[in-house]
Structure 1
Amino acid sequence: MCGMNFSDMTASAGARILETGHRLLLTVTGGRFPKRLLGMQTLELHTVGRKSGQRRSTMLTAPIFSADRIVVVASKGGHSEDPDWFKNLAANPEVEVTVGDVTTAWAARRASAAEKAELWPELVKANPGYDGYQQRTDRDIPVVILTPR
């Protein structure tokens, strides 16, 4: 974390705490809780590491979730850099998503500027924190659209 500004350190720590807490709750409850967080569907996104080639897994919430489309936000709490899971899916868009005990194959892509503009009000309605994250960073927070493959 050397060289990181305070805002990035706070965002990184918050993301780690949420990820660890979510995994701990799933382990303790045998995967029964939490199925939703802040009203959003929880899921585990599996990507292929862009450098390692190894499978990587990240716990996320999906403000938009249906059988034919999942939308996630690569906010990283307003950090100045994109999250690793986003960098991984940008390099290899073939991903898997686990919800409960079911894992399915999806194709991931970054929403275009027009798509993001259309989706953003719905995303912020689901989680008002996204607006604050976008205001906190100079980077354009990616919105990711997943479709079944």
Structure 2
Amino acid sequence: MPLDFNQQIIDEFRARHGRLSGPFEGARLLLLTTTGAHTGARHTTPVGYLPDGDGRVLVIASAGGSPRHPDWYRNLLAHPRVTVESGVFTYEAEAVVLRDAERDEAFTRAVEADPGWAAYQAKTDRVIPVVALHEIAKAGPPEVNAASPGEAIRLIHDVFRRELALIRAELDDGSGSALGAQLRINCLTLCQGLHNHHQGEDSALFPHLAARYPGFAAVRERLGREHERIAETVEALRRALSTREPAAARTEVIRLTEELEAHLSYEEEQLLPLLDAPADGTSPRHSDSPLRSDSPLRSDS
């Protein structure tokens, strides 16, 4: 992509927390910042990604089928430590180039999800690389690109809403009756992300709010029941995925979407005023929040 066009995407991506308009609306994109192989300068590039479970995502060095590898790929070969921006989260990652059968399996999944990758490979004699980005674990809560705890929880909720919308579209657009491997991974990554998010709320956020606001007890009880019901729906989705039944999976994704939207809306109504309530007359500080939540893209945190 031309540099000025790239910068427009980067600016919109950051301003709208990962949401893009135009040809990239609804696409799975992240911002990848690498260190120049020769200059040592930092360079940020928008790239498409695939969820891959196990705390990693995959990026593909297609360069639109160019005969040369993209600059960002040559950079990470020299300096494998990179920075990833998902729109909501920013984290450091280690880039690992997939080799041989592992690369071929991942690329096959990518083509299954989007045949455009095959068109790029057909345009070039080079084998298009697939790179796994492994998040580097660090102590403390993740870095959320938000100005307050309330905004952070809303943005994290929006990640789940967007991912569910993408999965529903992928199920509806799938050809034939097969439930593709990449689509199954997308669903399972979402399931794990929801589990981690609710576990973090139950173990840290809700006890903190209950101690600070005695009236929160009834809200906490309802949210806990909803977490249990959503977990049951997630398990039903897992079963449908394991049997590779597209109709059953679609039914459970629709049910999960409806249950989760109602839950998230109620939680935002109840939690956001408490999370952003000034303490001692001062403005709320995001770093003071016990929030420890994970997006579907970071399922092992």
Question: Do both proteins adopt the same fold according to a TM-score greater than 0.5, normalized to the shorter chain?
Answer: yes
SS in 2 for 1:63: strand
TM-score (norm 2): 0.41
Specify whether residues 39 and 23 from structure 1 end up closer, same or farther in structure 2 by C-alpha distance, changes over 3 A only.
same
Q: Residues 38 and 127 of structure 1 are in contact (CA less than 8 Å); yes or no, is this contact kept in structure 2?
A: no
After superposition, give the CA deviation of every residue in 1:37-58 in whole Å (9 maximum; x if it has no partner): 4764211001111111111110
**Which residue matches 2:105?**
118
CA contact (8 A) 1:40 1:126 kept: no
Q: Residue 34 of structure 1: which of 3, 16, 20 is its match?
A: 20
Q: CA deviation at 1:64?
A: 2.5
Residue 48 of structure 1 contacts residue 55 of structure 1 at CA under 8 Å; is this kept in 2? yes
* Greater fraction of residues in strand: 1
1:18 offset after TM fit, Å? Answer: 6.1
1:7-86 to 2 correspondences below 5 Å: 15-16=1-2, 19-23=6-10, 25-26=12-13, 30-31=16-17, 33-34=19-20, 37=24, 40-64=27-51, 66=53, 68-86=55-73
Q: Tell me, yes or no, if the aligned pair for 2:16 and 2:87 is still in contact at 8 Å.
A: no
Tell which deviates more after alignment, 103-112 or 62-71: 62-71
CA distance in 2, matches of 1:21, 1:61: 16
* Number of aligned residue pairs: 134
Describe the shift of the 1:47–1:63 C-alpha distance in structure 2 as closer, same or farther (beyond 3 A).
Answer: same
**In structure 1, what is the Cα distance between the partners aligned to 2:121 and 2:5?**
19
TM-score by length of 1: 0.78
Distance 1:62 1:18, change over 3 A: farther
User: Who is 2:127 aligned against?
Assistant: 140
Aligned-pair CA distance for 1:67: 6.7
C-alpha spacing 1:82/1:21, structure 2 compared with 1 (3 Å): same
- Which runs of 5 or more structure 2 residues have no equivalent in the other structure? 137-301
Separation in 2 of the partners of 1:131 and 1:54? 32
Q: Deviations over 1:15-38 (max 9, x none)?
A: 2386355235436x5445229x47
* Structure with larger Rg: 2
Contact 2:93/2:135 (CA < 8 Å) preserved in 1?
yes
Question: Where does structure 1 lack aligned partners over 5 or more consecutive residues?
Answer: 1-14
For residues 106 and 66 of structure 1, what CA distance do their matches in structure 2 show? Answer: 15
User: What is the identity, as a one-letter code, of the residue corresponding to 1:34?
Assistant: L
1:148 CA drift (Å) = 1.5
User: Does the 8 Å CA contact 1:40/1:62 hold for their aligned counterparts?
Assistant: no
* Alignment RMSD: 2.5
Q: Residues 64 and 72 of structure 1 are in contact (CA less than 8 Å); yes or no, is this contact kept in structure 2?
A: no
Distance 1:67 1:123 in 2: 17
Give the whole-Å Cα distance in 2 for the aligned partners of 1:81 and 1:91. Answer: 16
**In terms of mean alpha carbon deviation, does 135-144 or 114-123 score higher?**
114-123
The structure in which a higher percent of residues are helix is: 2
Seen in structure 2, the aligned counterparts of structure 1 residues 80 and 32 have a Cα distance that, compared at 3 Å, is closer
Partner Cα distance (2:85, 2:120) in 1: 26
Q: Is the 8 A contact 1:73 1:143 kept in 2?
A: yes
Tell me the alpha carbon deviations over residues 98-135 of structure 1, each in whole angstroms, 9 at most, x when there is no partner: 11142101100110111111112211122211101101
Greater RCO, CA 8 A, separation 6+: 1
